[in-house]
A = this chain, B = another copy of it.
Amino acid sequence: MNKDIPVISLQRLPVYLNYLKGLPEQEKFVSSKSIADALDMGEVLVRKDLAFTSAVGKPRVGYVTRELIEALEDYLCCNGKRCAVLVGVGALGRAVLSYGGFANYGIEIEGAFDSDPAKAGVEVAGRKICGMQDMADEIKRLGAELAIICVPASRAQEVADALCDCGIKAVLNFAPVLIKVKNGVVVRHIDVAANLAVLSSMI
């Protein structure tokens, strides 16, 4: 995979993919202009982003819709299988475990951990919750590379440290706090309240 894509472009690829998958079947061709118009973006930007994939557009015709979808799915490893684990099975953790959308991107959450002994062994959306003491072994056994942190802010850094020690390479952090990770580990942060605050400041 071309790792030189800027993150800002990379994070637009799922947006294109979602849009294209929502098009009616009869739309065999799609132009960068029509994508740009639909998504309220610049056409040059769309073309540049899509150039990171293997899709090749033709002048006056555009892309073959199916080929462009496949190229994006390829780029985003949607047809691979990557294992993720989740830490912190509170209300949010439960919601994330119950969410089926990860499979579209070839990702499966196969392990769930919580520090509350009362939750150990309980099943949520088909996965048995394990205690924190089993995390290292389970992550190794599963070969998990992705982790989702759903613990409270006060616990997020220690959980991130433990995940890094277990060899996790990428962390999606829902705790409303910045976490530090080892060099070579990538992090994305979803702060739900901050997103709403940004919206609130825009109106």
- Taking beta carbons and an 8 Å cutoff, which residues of A are in contact with B? 1, 3, 7, 10-11, 13-15, 18-19, 22, 38-39, 75-78, 82, 84, 90-92, 94-96, 98-99, 101-102, 104-107, 145-146, 148, 169-172, 176-178, 186-188, 190-203
Task: Collect the chain B residues with CB atoms within 8 Å of residue A176's CB.
Answer: 18, 101
Assess whether A1 is in contact with B195, with CB atoms less than 8 Å apart: no
CA distance A1 to B191 in the complex (A): 23
Q: Residue on B with the closest CB to A189?
A: B15
- Cα distance A86–B142 when bound, in Å? 36
**In the A-B complex, the 7 residue pairs with the closest CB atoms:** A14-B194, A105-B197, A101-B193, A91-B95, A170-B199, A95-B95, A92-B95
Q: Is the CB of A196 within 8 A of B10?
A: no
Are A105 and B196 interface neighbours, CB within 8 A? yes
Bound: A1/B96 CA distance, A: 36
Closest Cβ of chain B to A177, distance in Å, is 6
- Output the nearest chain B residue to A125 by Cβ-Cβ distance: B91
Contact A188/B177 with A7-B202, A77-B201 known, Cβ cut-off 8 Å: no
Within the complex, what minimum Cβ distance (angstroms) separates A106 from chain B? 8
Query: How far is the CB of A11 from the nearest CB of chain B, in Å?
Result: 5
- Cβ B14 vs Cβ A197 within 8 A: yes
- Quick one: which of B98, B101, B186, B199 contacts A203, CB cutoff 8 A? B186
CB atoms of B18 and A177 under 8 A apart: yes
Q: Is the CB of A11 within 8 A of B203?
A: no
Chain B residues within 8 Å of A106, by CB? 197, 200
Partner of A196, one of B94, B148, B196: B148
Does B201 contact A1, Cβ atoms closer than 8 Å?
yes
Kindly state the separation between the CA atoms of A95 and B177 in the bound complex, as whole angstroms. 18
Instruction: Assess the A170–B105 pair: CB atoms within 8 A.
Output: no
Q: List residues of chain B with CB within 8 A of the CB of A92.
A: 95, 99
